[in-house]
Chain A
Amino acid sequence: NAGVTQTPKFRVLKTGQSMTLLCAQDMNHEYMYWYRQDPGMGLRLIHYSVGEGTTAKGEVPDGYNVSRLKKQNFLLGLESAAPSQTSVYFCASRDPRGPGELFFGEGSRLTVL
């Protein structure tokens, strides 16, 4: 049972480089989310998607882009990485018919030098 899978798990970037984080879920969930986790700040929502082909901004969307070309995948892109984007990124998915339980991936630790 894979659930929610994130790749890569670790990445180090230099300022200005670009990268994409991939999230894949096999639970047929409509909703998918990208959060970032920083010490003392909990999880903050970056972007989310309520279905294939749709995306929306969360609390902290600046510097990130997303795409949901297939229902099972949700990509998070950094076009020009900055040190402020050093964080742990979590992808989550949710069945909209339920009470709102989120299913999380294992996280991707990104360091921007």
Chain B
Amino acid sequence: AQSVSQHNHHVILSEAASLELGCNYSYGGTVNLFWYVQYPGQHLQLLLKYFSGDPLVKGIKGFEAEFIKSKFSFNLRKPSVQWSDTAEYFCAVSTGGFKTIFGAGTRLFVKA
């Protein structure tokens, strides 16, 4: 069965620190990859997506992610986090069918 693993469940950083959140998936075929963000009390919204082309994709608010096919990974990065980045981040995979599978989420807390 397809699955998505997020390596860290909780991350605490100080402002200006660099961020990398790991995501690995298990599926051997073509995938579309997503990172969604959920700010406190809000619904999920798309941060960035990859479906073809350049494996380094840039999203909103300075986030980027790199698709490494050989490692089945799609890690999220940001060079310098801000207090407003405090949120829960979800990696998700769509295999071209009907379903999107989500990871368990990573809660990021950024100290001001």
Contacts and interface: CB of A to CB of B under 8 A. Distances in A.
Given A90-B43, A106-B43, A100 B34 contact: yes
Given A100-B34, A100-B51, A101-B49, A56 B43 contact: no
Interface stretch (A11-19, A37-45, A70-78, A79-87): A37-45
Contact of A42 (B32, B49, B90, B94): B90
Please report whether the interface of chain B is mostly helix, strand, loop or mixed according to DSSP: strand
Interface size class of A (residues with CB under 8 A): 20 to 34
A105 B43 contact: yes
A48 interface: yes
Q: Chain A binding site: helix, strand, loop or mixed by DSSP?
A: strand
Contacts of A56: 98
Interface in A1-52: 31, 33, 35, 40-45, 48, 50
Interface of A: 31, 33, 35, 40-45, 48, 50, 56, 58, 90, 92, 94, 99-102, 104-107
